[in-house]
Structure 1
Amino acid sequence: MSIPTVAIGALGGTIASTSNAHDGSEIVPTLSAERLAAAVPGLEELAEVRAETLAQLPSPSLDEPTVMRALRWAQAAVDAGAVGVVLTQGTDTLEESAYLLDLFWDRPEPLVVTGAMRSPQAAGADGPANLLTAVRCALAPASRGRGVLVAFDDEIHQARWVAKTDSMSTSAFRSPVFGPIGRCVEAEIVYGVTAGRPAPLPPPQDEGADPRVPLLATYLGDDGHVLDALSPAGIQGVVIAGFGAGHVSAAMAEAVGRKSSELPVVFASRTGSGPTGRAMYGYPGSEIDLLARGAIGAGWLSPVKARLLLWALLATGPADAARLRAEFAARGTP
């Protein structure tokens, strides 16, 4: 009896890292996709695995062009017959990679991202278990139509809401407010919500498109100096991680107004949970004030995901204010 095909693409990260030190320190990505798959007991009984090493990078060295190349590889894998795709990578930027992939993933087949918090040589290495869960997720018929998913520690998360919330724990990934959408229980993928997601964006006409969109976090006493110092000749947009529901100081608000006249400025909440406001506060630097100055609220999107959405929109179309506001309103809402 034939078994389904799953494609596994490896980008590096802790899940693929080994050490030459006697104490297991100083790990670096070295393992291929084939070796990662071979280390998972029982995987060959679930699926025919097509494994390919796409990169061997530490998570902080991933960038948008690399992720977009992985996207095109995953699309080609599905077109070649895979019923689902799994990408492995480092965890530091996993929440960002997964969301960028989700913005453009235009297939009903599942694309599942996973990684590990412990290297393969560490006691209690979590990579094999996470990879096995990810493959099961990619195979599950109930995973179809859900876009890009993150499988970690036996939980399934939507790419749009998941975040790395702990620097060391094997249960580092959470979805603040909304929680995971599914779990792997006794080898079965179980979902608690129905499938649904925003429509994918069209692919960039220029495969090399890479808009420069910095992310600035506001802070106590922020006077807008850093924002003013950003030259519109060198960037295409900017995202502000604001206090509370997206607030900034009165001085920073003036800078936001000046910058909004030159290019798109998005404000998000740096709190880690909850949306930007729309109509509660009216002081200088409040959400009402920033909206009046031309800035765009990120809604429920975290600052890093608001930055990726702005990057994606600028890579696929004009920086039209009405278009950007409409997309953030739609994609920043549960």
Structure 2
Amino acid sequence: MAIGALGGTIASTSDADDGSEIVPTLSAERLVAAVPGLGAIATVRAETLAQLPSPSLDEPTVLRTLRWARDAVDAGAAGVVITQGTDTLEESAYLLDLFWDRPEPLVLTGAMRSAQAAGADGPANLLTAVRCALAPGSRERGALVAFDDEVHQARWVAKTDSMSTSAFRSAGFGPIGRCVEAEVVYGVPASRAPALDLPSADTPDTPDPRVPLLATYLGDDGHVLDAVRDSGVDGVVIAGFGAGHVSAAMARAVGRAAERMPVVFASRTGSGPTGRAMYGYPGSEIDLLARGAIGAGWLPPVKARLLLWALLATGPADTARLRDELTARGTP
């Protein structure tokens, strides 16, 4: 079993008497040592890959982590666990899932309370993640998130609470498994989308597309999207109202942007898909599709952005290719 640590709350401590101002300090080895009974269920190789707060992670760091995980299973690891901060865990998990091409489980976890806090949840979450990574039923499921004794698919999981120890939910679909009395039990058969080709190893020429995410709002006139379009980005994702809707003025900006680059629209609601054929007013899903934008389906905005980034990093910005991939991966 291989465990890679990236930092986050699970690895954070404080020098203050009241436990405030925590920062990532603990190594992977110290995280493992703090989990009672872990050594009895697995032989662990732990490595500190980074000591970063969750918001400081980025796509190149996540892809380096993925290459490390691939090397670990190629060297004989039965599975891999990655620990990191929870703020971006849903994004890291999905980016890893897009490129994870091994049958072995790749499981992410973290904590909502620091290592020094009363009732720290990091050790329990790490133990659940290891059990998940060792479970035969976890194979061929891609990247998973194990948190608070639940197991979620990377594609649907999201952090839905800023403080609760049960912060992660999969809106619309729920968790696919649970850890009960040390056993990981799944309620659905194993399935996964085909892995994308991993971009070339880190070099100065490694693709790193610029794909911003814009949330629309009451009275949005499209001027921010026009500015983004003119800044030289490679694509953009719009978090729209309801089933992916925007104002009439924003719709015109979407059309202008779609003439230059891929534009994807998703729903900002937190649950449910983008529409395809219900509304016909300017700014509706039918209108945006006619202007050349692509619907994200069931993918939430942050996942749609990662998918667009990954597709642009690994191939041409071909509209048909992008639409096909978003349709396939945005469908349950």
- Size of the alignment, in residue pairs? 329
Counterpart for residue 265 of structure 2: 267
**Runs of 4+ residues deviating >4 angstroms:** none
For residue 123 of structure 1, the aligned residue among 108, 118, 125 is 118
Q: Counterparts in 2 of 1:82-161, with a 5 A limit?
A: 82-161=77-156
CA distance in 2: counterparts of 1:304 and 1:166, whole angstroms: 16
Q: Counterparts in 2 of 1:123-272, with a 5 A limit?
A: 123-205=118-200, 207=202, 208-232=206-230, 234-272=232-270
CA contact (8 A) 2:229 2:257 kept: no
Q: CA deviation at 1:231?
A: 3.9
SS of aligned partner of 2:124: helix
**Partner letter of residue 247 of structure 2?**
S
**Partner letter of residue 58 of structure 2?**
D
Scaled by the length of structure 1, what TM-score is found?
Answer: 0.98
**Alignment RMSD, CA only?**
0.7
Counterpart for residue 307 of structure 2: 309
Q: CA deviation at 1:62?
A: 0.3
CA distance in 2: counterparts of 1:303 and 1:173, whole angstroms: 16
For residue 52 of structure 2, the aligned residue among 45, 53, 57 is 57
Q: CA deviation at 1:223?
A: 0.2
- For structure 2, the residue ranges without an aligned partner over 5 or more in a row are none
CA distance in 2: counterparts of 1:153 and 1:233, whole angstroms: 42
**Partner letter of residue 315 of structure 2?**
G
CA distance in 1: counterparts of 2:249 and 2:62, whole angstroms: 37
CA distance in 2: counterparts of 1:231 and 1:245, whole angstroms: 23
**Change over 3 Å in CA distance of 1:263–1:206 after alignment to 2:** farther
CA contact (8 A) 1:240 1:266 kept: yes
Counterpart for residue 283 of structure 1: 281
CA distance in 1: counterparts of 2:181 and 2:210, whole angstroms: 45
CA contact (8 A) 2:215 2:239 kept: yes
CA distance in 2: counterparts of 1:53 and 1:101, whole angstroms: 18
CA distance in 2: counterparts of 1:12 and 1:235, whole angstroms: 30
Q: CA deviation at 1:205?
A: 3.5
Scaled by the length of structure 2, what TM-score is found?
Answer: 0.98
CA contact (8 A) 2:153 2:175 kept: yes
Q: Counterparts in 2 of 1:62-81, with a 5 A limit?
A: 62-81=57-76
Q: CA deviation at 1:209?
A: 1.7
SS of aligned partner of 1:276: coil
CA distance in 2: counterparts of 1:232 and 1:319, whole angstroms: 18
CA contact (8 A) 2:214 2:237 kept: yes
CA distance in 1: counterparts of 2:8 and 2:172, whole angstroms: 28
Q: CA deviation at 1:155?
A: 0.1
Counterpart for residue 20 of structure 2: 25
Q: How big is each residue's C-alpha offset from its partner over 1:295-324, in whole Å with a ceiling of 9 and x where there is no partner?
A: 000000000000000000000000000000
Question: Percent identity at matched positions?
Answer: 84
Counterpart for residue 40 of structure 1: 35
Counterpart for residue 297 of structure 1: 295
CA contact (8 A) 1:232 1:263 kept: no
Higher alpha-carbon deviation: 6-15 or 230-239:
230-239
SS of aligned partner of 1:48: coil
SS of aligned partner of 1:230: helix
CA contact (8 A) 1:232 1:262 kept: no
SS of aligned partner of 1:267: strand
CA distance in 2: counterparts of 1:215 and 1:230, whole angstroms: 10
Q: How big is each residue's C-alpha offset from its partner over 1:272-297, in whole Å with a ceiling of 9 and x where there is no partner?
A: 00000000000000000000000000
CA distance in 1: counterparts of 2:24 and 2:174, whole angstroms: 30
CA contact (8 A) 1:181 1:193 kept: yes
Q: How big is each residue's C-alpha offset from its partner over 1:163-216, in whole Å with a ceiling of 9 and x where there is no partner?
A: 000000000000001000000000000000000011000111364221000000
For residue 322 of structure 2, the aligned residue among 302, 321, 324 is 324
Q: CA deviation at 1:234?
A: 2.4
- For structure 1, the residue ranges without an aligned partner over 5 or more in a row are 1-5
